[in-house]
Chain A
Amino acid sequence: MSTILPILPEVMLLGLGILVLLIDPFIKKDTDRRNFLGLFTTSGLLLTLVVSILLARPAGPVLVFGGMLRFDWLGFLFKMFFIFAGAVTALFFMDTEKLNQRAEGFLLLLAASLGMCLMASSADLIMLYLAIETTSIPLYVLAGFLTGDRKSTEAGFKYMLFGALTSTVLLYGFSLIFGFTGKTNLYELSSHFTHFDLVATSITFLVLTGLAFKVSLFPFHFWAPDVYEGAPTPVAGFLSTASKAAGFTVILRLLTVVFPVISLDWSLILAVLATLTMTIGNLIAITQKSVKRMLAYSSIAHAGYAMIGVVAFSQLGMASVVFYLIAYALTNLLAFGIIGIVGRATGSDDFSAYNGLSRRNSNLALGALVAFLSLAGMPPFAGFVAKVFVFLAAVNSGWTWLAVVGVLNSIVGLYYYLNVLKSVYLFRMENQEEEKNPLAVRRPVAVALVVLVVGILLVGILFGPWFGLASRAGLALF
């Protein structure tokens, strides 16, 4: 029995997915279906979360299932986070037309979460590739889920084309690794890449290209804005947070386990990539007219901030990346949640749709305040400490200039995030009749928002214990 514990979350996710499909035909009325499927998925995910935390905590890092998976804190922490993000997203699904009607939507969400969980703990190239595809394919479908909507279809198709292309590049890299070493287990490979040569360079290049796409690093970020804009908002939120975090776990593991020596040689290149990712993401975000697109570019920029911690390449650096990803993901889930509500109520994602929001629903406006200030890196929200730790890691490893680039970028970020708040608090609707147009939030979504706000505050204020967890996850890499 104990052997199944390392994959207990995955097993439960699979079981839950099957149950959702089985139950679906028995619900006749659309309204029942809308409420039931979402609540069922959410409570199932929460149950998985609780059971896993109670029963399936890792002790020390061990390779399990013939070396396919590694049962360690990095994997565990992220698995728990993906399940949490899945639960929140399921609540957001309940408020989205079409997504809430069909069990397939929830099933795909669960399948993607399952894939992410495997991504976070894979210790073998084959398993890793399978996990990445298990994550990606449901997400392609989800992005294009609104079949009647041309933008959504376009998003799904675009995402699939780009994704398939980079997957092949990644797979090519993996095949080279296998070809030159004859091994597929990450932890056996570590001794093979000890110096910088043509083979190692091309392998690193191919693998990084594939993964850079997943986390939307420059220059593989082009897909993100279009896909986020077209995809149903909760799906975009899930893509920009959980999927990105999953990509980062793979980057962290590969760089520290397979290419520890080469990574040091590559750190200047990674630093330049981080700089470009942050700067380009932020600069383009300024010019956006749609909040959703702006958030897409901002999420590119955030991948750049997280890369700063990767460049630092120390235990502190890894811990700060983990902390950053979680803080950022919580915040971005909240931001996309709010966009979803406003988008549904006003039918638009433009800045003007946010005019007068604080008069239409003052609590929702406060939620927006928390989300955007946390993204900007203001205390007492999670974004502040996350940024400081990443910069501190950079300074500690001698990358002071990179930290300076990071803080300068966060100034740019502050500017465009404040622009959203300007619409929310300052501008008014055209008819100035906000009081007559209150913006209602459905209960499940409200619950999700409150949970996220509380989470952001908890991580941002009581950051000690959270960072302890992140350090533990970071330590598991070395």
Chain B
Amino acid sequence: MKRPLVALTSLLLAQALAQVNLALSPARLELVLPPGGEVTEVVRVRNGLDREEPLSVALRPFTLTPKGDVAESDERNLCPHLTVTPTAFTVPPKGTAEVRLTLQAPPEAEGTLACLVVFTAQPRPTTLGGLRITASPSLGLAVYLTLRGTEKPALRAKVGGEGKALPVLLENPGNVLQRVTGEARVFDGEGKEVARLPIAELPVFPGGYREVALEPEAPLPPGRYRVVLILESAYGRYAAEGVWAVP
């Protein structure tokens, strides 16, 4: 008798503890279409709780900041060309809901456009009195569309500087999203390789730039190092060289 009671208590406690438990799959969409083309994608939203989760959907145009964060911007707005069905729905307890995203590639635009599809749960009813802060949790699906045949890819990389982490600056003067993968190879004064610092699928927004600081797993001894940066994206391979002064 004691065990079922303990189990029931822990179940009730677990339910009381969670306000929201939502999962989005896929976590991001990157699509390529010819101007005027159309595609429909299905996104799944899973509810990990034992109760229904009403969600609403909103579209927000965005850009990426130099730190890689999402910031609202109309600069390359995909939202007017994106239709979400449904825009309000309820995910069943421990269940999954499917949402259809239809993209119509604008015939006049060029390069990569972006839109954030935001799935928002309603805040829970709160207690009364006092000053209260309640949370409204959201999941954002970043959707990128690149218009085939209009791409003008470009990337400028600068590596080196001073600090315990290696400064890297990536500029994207082109019109397409550059998602770069690669590594910085670090050599000491005698030409011996002492570290490899990886970069994985780092997005650089068209017309923007990205600043990153690559930290070695183990700190390097103070000194001056030669660094070779080798990067690859869907549009080609890029390399840069510089000097890194570790204090």
A joins B in a complex: no
